[in-house]
Structure formats: C-alpha cells, structure tokens
Amino acid sequence: MNAEDLASIRRRLDAATPGPWRGAGDQVRATAADALIEDNILVAYYTGHDHRLGLETTGVAADVDLIAHAPTDIAALLGDAERLIEIRDFHREWGDQDTDTLDLLTLWEQLGRLLGVTP
C-alpha cells in the first residue's frame, strides 16, 4: 500500500458513522454526539447466510464484534501504516546522503519524532 491507498481508506473511515460502535445482539449501534439516548444509531444489522437460514454454523456475536470494532481497528492500523510510510520516506531521504555531510543531530531528532520517542 502507498500513501494514496491509505488516504482513500482514511476518507472512507472518516465518512462513516462516528463511533464508538458497539455490538448489541445481531446489531451494531452507535451514539450520536448530541444524542439524549445511547446507541440510537443502527450502523449495521447482521444477516449472514447462516443467520437467515436459522443455522448455527458461525457465531453472530463474532461477526458483530468484528464489525463493531472495525472503525477503531482500522484507525489504529492506518496510523501505524502512515507512520511506517513516513519512516520509509525518511530513510530514503537520509540514506542517499554522503556520510561526511550528515547532520546527525537533525537525523536523530527527526527519527525520534517519527518513532514517537525523544532521542
């Protein structure tokens, strides 16, 4: 994936119903920011093939749990992927420089910022 792919995923995530989402039986519900009643938005309703046929081949709860956690999980994964792309680009930029002319303090400060640590 590249930065453009991640930006497309981020746009879809940002356009979705705001969270947090919560599984409630065979539904995924959310609470509006200005809501007086919790979980007043129906985000998704599970109607998997086995569910419609009355079969017990998969657990509804596991599917609903996956859907309910998708926005939070995707946001975390996107954050890590975006940070890794920044680190990759940083490595390419600094890797092309002559070692005699490197400003090591700047290198360490930028690398620390990307890694979320204080060098």
Helical (H) or strand (E) element with 104: helix 104-115
SS3 assignment, position 38? coil
Residue 115 or 22, more confident: 22
**5-64 pLDDT tens trace:** 999 999 999 998 887 888 888 888 888 776 667 777 888 887 766 655 555 555 667 778
**87-110 pLDDT tens trace:** 888 777 776 667 676 676 777 787
Long-range contacts of 69-73 (CB under 8 A, 24+ apart): 69/21, 70/21, 71/13, 71/16, 71/19, 71/20, 71/21, 72/19, 72/20, 72/21
Q: Are 52 and 60 in contact (CB under 8 A)?
A: no
